[in-house]
Amino acid sequence: MEQEFYLGLAQRIRVIAEKADPFTRRRLLDLAKRYDAKGGPARSGATERRLPLPRTTPPASVFSGPGEV
């Protein structure tokens, strides 16, 4: 369970690094490597799982009709 946490954290840091300036990108990628190491050895044949992008607005199902709570 802890291994999955660190591997997921490393992936989120890589997503952030894609949008960063070169200096910050290099530092973030170094940090991601450290989290990968804490997560344990990479499983052979495993595919990289991308995390979904965060929502900027709540889903439409959150909004109810007039007068509904």
0.75 cut: is pTM over it? no
Q: How many CA within 13 A on the CB side of residue 45?
A: 0
| pLDDT at residue 48 in the model | 62
| pLDDT at residue 33 in the model | 94
Q: pLDDT tens digits, the chain, 69 residues: what are they?
A: 788 899 999 999 999 999 999 999 999 999 999 999 988 765 544 556 677 777 676 666 666 666 555
23-33 burial: b if 16+ Cβ within 10 Å, else e: eeeeebeebbe
